[in-house]
Amino acid sequence: MKLTSRWLATLVAAPLVLAATGCVVAPPPPPPHHPAYLHALTDLRDARWNLEHRAGDAAVSAQEDVAIVEIDRAIGDAKTAAMEDGKNVYEHPPEDAKIDRRGRLHHASELLHKARNDVAQGESNGVAVDLRNRVISHIDLAIQATDRAIHIIENGA
């Protein structure tokens, strides 16, 4: 198709007419925002470290193993959700949980609760809602396993 001078004039004039009539194209919205995924990932990694590298006795190791598997699943889904939100999953913010130092299992439990609270915030990205819910479910299972390990240690059963 040949560009005629009339066609060229129309192409040049169209943006000017739109601007003159007040038709302004809005800038794209900011990327969806869930500020706490990265903090939750930090807390999940630290909780996992406490369960794996500071292992307890045989009575609680099965519960620790369950918690570690669920934490790994939560980390995987949280990374995916964070990437859906445009976050840099290689950024590792400092731990933001205020930890009562009653022992490694209590420490892991508090970190898991903090991570759950972080992730449970409102999700503005509809695509990531299902991922967020899966992360919460995995964290809940890790909390239950960790709390069972604490119960075994504290009550001998």
Q: What is the CATH number of the domain that holds 58?
A: 1.20.1260
Q: Where are the alpha helices (DSSP H) in 30-103?
A: 37-52, 58-84
Distances (CA, A) of 40 to 20, 86, 132: 49, 16, 11
List of residues 6+ apart from 140 with CB closer than 8 A: 116
The answer to whether residue 22 sits within a structural domain is: no
pLDDT of 8 strictly over 50: yes
CB-based burial, 12-32: b 16+ in 10 Å, e otherwise: eeeeeeeeeeeeeeeeeeeee
pLDDT one-digit tens code per residue, 81-119: 877 767 766 666 665 555 544 588 898 999 999 999 998
**Which of residues 156 and 64 earns the better pLDDT score?**
64
Tell me the C-alpha distance between 87 and 107, whole Å. 27
Residue 75 contacts residue 44 (beta carbons within 8 Å): yes
The answer to whether residue 133 sits within a structural domain is: yes
Tell me the C-alpha distance between 2 and 72, whole Å. 60
The answer to whether residue 7 sits within a structural domain is: no
The answer to whether residue 107 sits within a structural domain is: yes
The answer to whether residue 23 sits within a structural domain is: no
The answer to whether residue 140 sits within a structural domain is: yes
The answer to whether residue 9 sits within a structural domain is: no
Average pLDDT along the chain: 77
CB-based burial, 143-154: b 16+ in 10 Å, e otherwise: bebbbbbbebbe
Sequence letter at residue 121: Q
- What local confidence, expressed as pLDDT, does residue 31 receive? 47
- What local confidence, expressed as pLDDT, does residue 101 receive? 46
- What local confidence, expressed as pLDDT, does residue 71 receive? 94
Tell me the C-alpha distance between 46 and 144, whole Å. 17
> What average pLDDT does range 21-50 have in this prediction?
71
In terms of Cα–Cα distance, which of 151, 155, 157, 142 is closest to 66? Answer: 142
pTM exceeds 0.95 for this model: no
> What average pLDDT does range 38-43 have in this prediction?
88
Structural domain boundaries enclosing 116: 33-155
Structural domain tally of the chain?
1
> What average pLDDT does range 7-30 have in this prediction?
58
The answer to whether residue 65 sits within a structural domain is: yes
